[in-house]
Amino acid sequence: MDVETAAAALRAGLLIGMPTETVYGLAANALDAQAVLRIFAAKGRPSFDPLIVHVADPDQVWEVAEPSPRARRLAERFWPGPLTLVLPRRACIPDVVTSGLDTVGVRCPDHPLARALIRATGRPLAAPSANRFGRISPTTAAHVVEQLGAAVAGVLDGGPCRVGVESTVLLPDPAPIILRPGGITREALTDFLGEAVAVAGREQRADHLPAQAPGMLASHYAPRAPLSLREGAWPTAADVGRLAFRDPPPRGGPSLVLSPTGDLAEAAANLFAMLRWLDASGVATIVAELVPADGLGLAINDRLVRAAGRG
Ligand code: TXA
Ligand code: MG
C-alpha cells in the first residue's frame, strides 16, 4: 500500500499499520473519536489507556498540546525522535484519546514514511503499538499483519524498526520524570536539561495514569510461553528457550543472543523479534537475562521485567 492510499483510508476513519523508528503503530485520525474507538476494539485494549498522538513536524504539536519552556527545548532537541512528552491537551483532542485525562502524550516520530503519512493525511495520528493487547510489540510489517491484519485497511512497510523499543514517555513539568523508559535514555535527557530526571516507580506512574491503565499492569509485552528472568545457571532442558545478552547459553533448548558485542542499541533493536522467535519455536517456557541497566538497558529491562509479569 502506498502513502496516498493509506492517508485516504485514515481520512475515511479506517486504521493503518504505520512504521516508526521504535515499533509499528496502529494509527487512526486522532481528531475522529469513532476512528480512535476502532483502535481499542482492534487491539482488544481497555479504553482507559491513553494513546500517543503523532505529528509530522515538531511545530505542529502545539496545535494539540500546550507548550512550556522545558517542553519547547526538549521538542527542539529530541524531535523527530523516540521521546513522548505528556503535556496539557488542547480541546481538539477527543476524550477517547486521553482516557479523559487533561494531558496528552505527543511525539514526532523519526521515520520518513510515518511523517509522510501524517502529512498526507493532514491530521495528527493516534497510534499505540500495533500488537494485540498485552502481547509483544511489532518491529516489522509482517508482525502487524500476523496479529492485526484483519483490522487494518493496510500496513505501510517501512522495514524493521531501527530502535526496537517504544518511545520514552516523559512528563516534563513541573520537574522532569520518566513515566516509561524507552528509546531516549535518561542520561541523554539529564545531560541536555542539566537537571535531575527521575524515573517513576509504580506509585508515581499511578499518579499520572487512569487507575487501571495497562501501563500499570505487571504483565505486559508478554509472549505466549511464560517468561521468567534468569537466576543463576541457564536451564538446559530442550523445551526452555533462552534469551541472552551477549554470551551464548550452554547447549540445551533454543537460544538467542541479543548482541554478541554487548551493544545495548543492537540488543534493543533485536529484543521483540527475538522474543517472538523463541515463542514461535514452541518452547514451554522462556528464560531471559537482564542487561546492564544503563542507557537503553533501562528500557530493555523494563520490558523484560513486565514480560515476566513482575512490573
Ligand atoms: O514508541 C512508541 O511510543 C509507540 C509508537 C507507535 O509511537 N507507541 C506506543 O504506544 O508505545 P502505546 O499506546 O503502546 O503506549 C502508550 C503509553 C501509555 O500506555 C501510557 O503509559 C503513556 O504512553 N501515555 C500516553 N498518554 C499519556 C498521558 N496523557 N499521561 C500519561 N501517560 C501517557
Ligand atoms: Mg504498547
Pocket-testing residue among 129, 219, 272, ligand 1, by greatest number of atoms within 8 A of Cβ: 129
Domains in the chain, start-ordered, CATH in brackets? 3-211 (3.90.870.10), 227-307 (3.40.50.11030)
Kindly report the protein residue whose alpha carbon is nearest to atom 21 of ligand 1: 215
Question: How confident is the model at residue 216, as a pLDDT?
Answer: 61
Q: In whole angstroms, what is the distance from residue 139 CA to residue 25 CA?
A: 9
pLDDT tens, position by position, 135-161: 999 999 999 999 999 999 999 999 999
- Higher local confidence (pLDDT), 81 or 201: 81
pLDDT higher than threshold 80 for residue 219: no
**Ligand with minimal distance to 299 CA:** 1
Rg (CA), the chain: 19
Question: How confident is the model at residue 47, as a pLDDT?
Answer: 73
Question: How confident is the model at residue 211, as a pLDDT?
Answer: 64
Instruction: State the average pLDDT for the chain.
Output: 95
Question: How confident is the model at residue 214, as a pLDDT?
Answer: 60
Sign of the Cα pseudo-torsion (294, 300, 302, 305, in order): negative
Q: Which ligand 1 atom is at minimum distance from the Cα of 165? A: 1
Q: Which residues line ligand 1 (CB under 6 A)?
A: 20, 22-23, 25, 49-52, 82, 84, 86, 98, 101, 103-105, 109, 127-129, 166-167, 169, 179-180, 208-209, 213-215
Q: Which ligand 1 atom is at minimum distance from the Cα of 163? A: 1
Question: How confident is the model at residue 213, as a pLDDT?
Answer: 65
Q: Which ligand 1 atom is at minimum distance from the Cα of 167? A: 1
Angle at 146 between CA 19 and CA 122, to 5 degrees: 30
Question: How confident is the model at residue 209, as a pLDDT?
Answer: 79
Q: In whole angstroms, what is the distance from residue 268 CA to residue 266 CA?
A: 5
Question: How confident is the model at residue 45, as a pLDDT?
Answer: 79
Question: How confident is the model at residue 217, as a pLDDT?
Answer: 62
pLDDT higher than threshold 90 for residue 20: yes
pLDDT tens, position by position, 240-250: 999 999 999 99
Pocket-testing residue among 106, 169, 204, ligand 1, by greatest number of atoms within 8 A of Cβ: 169
**pTM summary value:** 0.95
Average pLDDT over residues 43-61: 91
pLDDT higher than threshold 90 for residue 88: yes
pLDDT higher than threshold 80 for residue 221: no
Nearest to 105 by CA among 121, 82, 123: 82
Question: How confident is the model at residue 264, as a pLDDT?
Answer: 98
Measured in Å, residue 181 CA sits from the centre of ligand 1 at: 11
| DSSP H helical ranges for the chain | 3-11, 33-43, 69-78, 95-98, 112-121, 141-148, 186-193, 202-207, 264-280, 297-307
**Residue located via cell numbers 510489540:** 137
SS3 sequence of 193-207: HCCCCEECCHHHHHH
Kindly report the protein residue whose alpha carbon is nearest to atom 10 of ligand 1: 128
pLDDT higher than threshold 80 for residue 48: no
pLDDT higher than threshold 80 for residue 207: yes
